[in-house]
Amino acid sequence: MLEDKNQERTSLSELGEFGLIDHLTKHFKIHHTSTVKGVGDDAAILNFSNEQVVVTTDLLIEGVHFDLSYVPLKHLGYKAVMVNLSDVYAMNAEATQITVSIAVSNRFPLEAIEELYAGIQTACNNYKVDLVGGDTTSSNVGLVISVTALGKAIPEEITKRSTAKAGDLLVVSGDVGAAYMGLQILEREKAVFKVNPSSQPDLEQYSYLIERQLKPEARKDVKSILQSLEVLPTSMIDVSDGLSSEILHICKNSGVGCNLYEDKIPLDPQVISSCEEFELDSTTIALSGGEDYELLFTIKQEDFPKIKANPNFSIIGHMTEEKEGAHLITRANTKIPLIARGWNALSSED
C-alpha cells in the first residue's frame, strides 16, 4: 500500500549522535522571542516574562500507537507534534516550543529519519513553534517518539478541566469520529493488501476520514476565534480519547453532571456513510472513537448568542448538578448514562 520508495540508505552510525541531531535540526527556524537559545547547548534557554507556561508531553510507540505499514513517516512526525500542540491549545495557551526525542532501531536508514523530521518541521512552520531540543538514541524494538510542548498564556486566559459550572453550555469544535473511521479504512486496506499485494484501493470516498487519521490538525484557531467573539471558556479539554471520556473528565474534575444530546453531535457525512458500510453506530464512534483533536469546552449560558451561529462550533449539551450524573439524551429522547470507553476498549471488542 504505502511502501518506502526511497532507495537511498545511509546508515545512522555514519553520522553519530551529535552529527545526527545537527543534521536533522539545522533547517529549523526560530519563531519566538521567548526562545533565547534553542538547539546547540546543554539546555535550551527560554524567557516568558510575566506569562504562565504550560508544559505537556506524549510518548508514541511503534506497534502500540502507530503502524508504519500504512503511516508514512512524514505524517507520523507531523501527527506527533499535533498531539502535543492540541494539549497546549486545550489550556487556551499559545504553543511556542517543542522538544523531540526519538529512539530508533538500525533498520531505519538516515533517509527514513529525515522523512520523520520533515513532518516535524512542516508542523513547526505551520504552527509557528520552535524546536529547542531533544535526544536521539538506539532502540532494539522499533521507533519511539516523545514530544514535549510548551506554551504560554496570561493567567486569566488559561482554561482548566476543573472549572465548569452547572448550567454552562457544552461546546465542541469541528466534528468527531472521523479519525477512528479513517483507522478502520486503513486497517481494512492493510488486510486486503496482505492477501492481494497488487490491489489498488480507491480511497477517494474516504479522503476526509484518512486525512483526519493520518494528518490531524490541532485547533490553534479556536483561541483567536473565541477571543474575537469575546467568549472565554469556563473549562476546556481536547478530544483525544473520544467525546464521552473527555466529557466525563470535565464532569469529574469540575464536580458537575452533564446532559449530552445525541442529535447535536457533529458528524461528517463520510463518518455517517462509512459507519453504515461497517455496520457501526455513528454515535458510539463519536463517543468512543478518539484522536479527533478537536476542543471540547464549556461556556456561560449568557454567551449562547455569541456562539450559536458560528460554523466552527456545535453546542452539544449542558452541565448539570453533580448528583444528576452524566447522560446521553438519545434521538428517541431516552436518557442513558454516559460511560467512558476509550478506543482501546472499542477495538478489543472486535
Q: Which is nearer to Mg ion, 240 or 270 (CB)?
A: 240
Strand pairing category for 326-329 and 256-261: parallel
- Residues with Cβ within 8 Å of 341's Cβ and at least 6 positions away in sequence, in order, are 242, 244, 245, 287, 288
Site string for Mg ion, 46-85 (x = CB under 5 A): ----------------------------------------
User: Does the protein bind Mg ion through residue 238 (CB under 5 A)?
Assistant: yes
Specify binding-site residues for ATP.
117, 134-135, 161, 240
Q: How many residues of this chain bind Mg ion (CB under 5 A)?
A: 3
Q: Cell for 71? A: 503511516
Instruction: Pick the binder of Mg ion from 62, 87, 217, 268 (CB under 5 A).
Output: 87
User: Does the protein bind Mg ion through residue 291 (CB under 5 A)?
Assistant: no
Residue 295: beta bridge partners? 238
Strand pairing category for 169-173 and 295-299: antiparallel
CB of 250 to Mg ion, least distance (A): 11
Specify binding-site residues for Mg(2+).
42, 56-58, 87, 135, 238, 241
Quick one: the chain helix, strand, coil %, rounded to 5? Answer: 40, 25, 35
Single out the segment in contact with Mg ion by CB under 5 A; choices: 43-51, 198-206, 238-246, 298-306.
238-246
Q: Which is nearer to Mg ion, 157 or 292 (CB)?
A: 292
Rounded Cα distance between 328 and 259, Å, is: 6
CB of 56 to Mg ion, least distance (A): 8
**135: Cα within 13 Å, side-chain hemisphere:** 9
- Residues with Cβ within 8 Å of 59's Cβ and at least 6 positions away in sequence, in order, are 144, 145, 146
CB of 341 to Mg ion, least distance (A): 17
Contacting residues toward Mg ion, per CB under 5 A:
87, 238, 240
